[in-house]
Structure 1
Amino acid sequence: MAYYILPLLLALIAGYLLTPAVRVLALKVGAMDLPDPRKVHRSIMPRMGGLAVYLAFVAAVLLFRDLTPQVWGLLAGATLILLVGILDDIKGLSARVKLAGQVLAAAVIVPFGIQVHFITNPLNGEMIFLGVFSIPVTIFWVVAVTNAVNLIDGLDGLAGGVSAIAAMTMAAVTWTQWGSGGMENIMLTLTLVAALIGFLKHNFFPAKIFLGDTGSLFLGFTLAVMAVTGLTKSAAAVSVIIPLVILGVPLLDTFFAVVRRCHERKPIFEPDKEHLHHCLMAMGLSHRQTVLTIYVLSAFLGITAVVLNMVTNHQALAMLVLLAVVVIYLANRVGVLGRTQQSGYSLSTKENTQQSRKM
């Protein structure tokens, strides 16, 4: 029992204790997040907090987990993507350089046997082997999830909490698929959850430190790899859908951002204030209420993913169709697909009012 409890305790305590030290380091090296019209915070904040999560996670893994080639691949790629995030937090990198770093980190895991070798057709359950497309599909998946988590990191505790919920869901789905046979993958995901919980004590509103790209890139990358190693090995018909549902909040927010910017003929990588958290705040929710609302949404998608893994194929497809209709409807209602100028004005006005009250 200690073999399973001790790594979680170590990750939790290390995540909590290392964060203040990382905060001091961020202040010394100039890893600071400056306010601008697109951001919600109105004061200079240290970032690079993801370094504490990384150190807590890696320490627990090295000391207590079986160091298989896939685990070494995860740690190698995670270390590389962490370095990209640190450089961006301190120096600032262009979008192209960051993307190149993400692609390189994703490519690093391939020689360690971390690949999506096949997907299962959800309509008939047939396995489709990817062959030569295995590597590009794997890299695309890892880069997509990495960017998706990076893009939702806009409020205190948001990306960290959503990532923790996603990791817990992965552990639950892996257990329903493999039972004790998937224990090593389950422990990896729960170790990440423990490290995040320790960090979130300092990061939840009002935050003392931000994840920064150091953290959001590391979390997105790690979740993507864990999905490949723990969820895509099943031949179940819905196995290809389950990771998409688990990571539904960041992936859908990113997808809608691409659709929105293409429709408005704006560059895809151009930042805006129409992400899900911006829209919820524009509707009148406070900072804390917005984060908790997205937590609830993430938990709902997580429960849905677990249920999908336990029902028949026909029931799963019916649930997915219903879920898609509800998601599109709510996205349109909230304004993620595009808001009016008045909505944008409401957000700006609300933020200014809150700032005035603080002053």
Structure 2
Amino acid sequence: MAFLLALGIALLITPGVRKAAFKIGAIDKPDPRKVHAKIMPRMGGLAVFIAFALTVLLTQQLNDRLIGLLVGGFLIVLLGILDDTRGLPAKVKLLGQIAAAAAVIPFGIQVEFITNPLNGQMIHLGLWGIPVTIFWIISVTNAVNLIDGLDGLAGGTSFIAALTLAAVTAVTWQQANLSGGIGMQVVALALILAASILGFLRYNFYPAKIFLGDTGSMFLGYALSTLAVMGVAKAATAISVIVPMVIMGLPLLDVLFAILRRYKSHRPIFEPDKEHLHHRMMALGLSHKQTVLAIYAVNLLLGISAFLLTVMTTSQAVLLLLILTVVIIVAANKIGVIGKTPVTVAQNLQQRSSKM
């Protein structure tokens, strides 16, 4: 019922949010770094947030953690609306993200310990848990924000991540013999988030009628990272520290590769470019829609890998992580996201013709 309610709300209110975006000037104009060629309404993430928050308030029993999630979510959405309508400096956005991430701490949402995957020993963080939690939430928030470059890309990626998070949390809490209250609520929240995204994707998938905007991409990153802290990070399993990183693997890797790429070329780390994963895949000759679907497939594989990590033995999980690492490094180098310029399909054909 909650899933269907969130889906229905998102489907119903997204057209209204689209009209409101035009009225208040939340629009995205084309430029050389962007793919779209016409003015598009932004701030679509407001529809996702309203669908999520309203469904949560109507179907879930409120507690401190849930209130903290909604308070922080409201703050990050407010920050996104300001950025979508006025455009905020990077430093102001970062300060706003820190405030939203820190807002959940008084409500009991915090990484309290990490588990050493080598020996299963718990390492209690104490006060260090506060900066670790804030850093994690900000990292995922910005990762999803940066991957939002094609129609439906960030939304679809987050939809797959939310479903994976629900499945992984359910299994992790069962394996760790933890009480089901919080764990099952995180499962429900992740499914409600997935439904809210799915309803919005009806208008955001290629060709999009509205963009998530910073309102949506930051909220999705915030919600996923916070739910991961509430769910998976609370389990004392040996591999629990790795699983959230695998679930959000593609956005996080895209950020990491961007940092390495800009460092290698002696450019400012925060300087925007047109060399992210989706840009590189389109440079290889894939269409807009093909690129999005290909990235969905990669996200799905990472989601399955994250689930497998929770049901494997530690040695099996380490082997799977090693395989994933090798495959990711080889693929990233071939595609060119670390700095190597990819060869396009047209160039390949031209080279073959010249040889013949």
TM range (shorter): over 0.9
SS in 1 for 2:36: coil
Out of 61, 77, 80, the position equivalent to 2:56 is: 61
In the TM superposition, what whole-angstrom CA distance separates every residue of 1:256-281 from its partner, at most 9, and x where no partner exists? 10111111111111110110000110
Counterpart position of 1:84: 79
CA distance in 2, matches of 1:119, 1:265: 35
- Residue identity opposite 1:62 in structure 2: L
In the alignment, what sits opposite 2:125? 130
Q: Is the 8 A contact 1:274 1:339 kept in 2?
A: no
Q: Does 1:98 align with 2:104?
A: no
Structure 2 partner of 1:46: 41
| Residue in structure 1 matched with residue 31 of structure 2 by the alignment | 36
Letter of the aligned partner of 1:175 in structure 2?
A: A
**Partner residue of 1:275?**
276
**Cross-structure match for 2:6:** 11
Structure 2 gaps, min length 5: 348-356
- Which of 54, 67, 70 does residue 65 from structure 2 map onto? 70
Shift of 1:341: 8.4
Given that 2:168 and 2:307 are in contact with CA atoms closer than 8 Å, whether structure 1 keeps it comes out as yes
Q: Tell me the residue number matched to 1:256.
A: 257
Contact 2:284–2:342, Cα closer than 8 Å, also in 1: no
Q: How many residue pairs were aligned?
A: 341
2:291 matches 1:290: yes
Give the conservation status (yes or no) of the 8 Å contact 2:334–2:342.
no
Aligned equivalent of 2:354: none
**Residue among 121, 143, 147 paired with 1:148:** 143
TM-score of the aligned structures, taking structure 2 as reference length: 0.94
Q: Give a deviation string over 1:319-352, Cα, whole Å, max 9, x none.
A: 1111101101100101110133876x98xxxxxx
Aligned to 2:169: 174
Letter in 2 for 1:30: G
8 Å contact from structure 1 (residues 22, 51) kept in 2? yes
**Which contiguous aligned blocks of 4+ residues in structure 1 show a shift greater than 3 angstroms?**
none
Partner of 1:200: 201
Q: CA deviation at 1:87?
A: 0.3
Partner Cα separation in structure 1 for residue 300 and residue 62 of structure 2: 30
* Match of residue 113 from structure 1: 108
Partner in structure 2 of residue 338 of structure 1:
339
Give the RMSD, CA atoms, in angstroms.
1.4
Q: Which amino acid aligns with 2:132?
A: V
Q: Is the 8 A contact 2:165 2:187 kept in 1?
A: yes
User: How big is the shift at 1:221?
Assistant: 0.4
Q: Can you give the 5+ residue segments of structure 1 that lack an aligned partner in the other structure?
A: 1-5, 347-359
Note the C-alpha offset of 1:178.
2.4
Amino acid at match of 2:250: V
State whether residues 41 and 211 of structure 2, in contact with CA within 8 Å, keep that contact through their aligned partners in structure 1: yes
State how far apart, in whole Å, the 2-side matches of 1:30 and 1:342 are: 39
| Counterpart secondary structure, 2:311 | coil
d(CA) in 2 for partners of 1:172, 1:132:
30
Alignment-derived partner of residue 192 in structure 2: 191
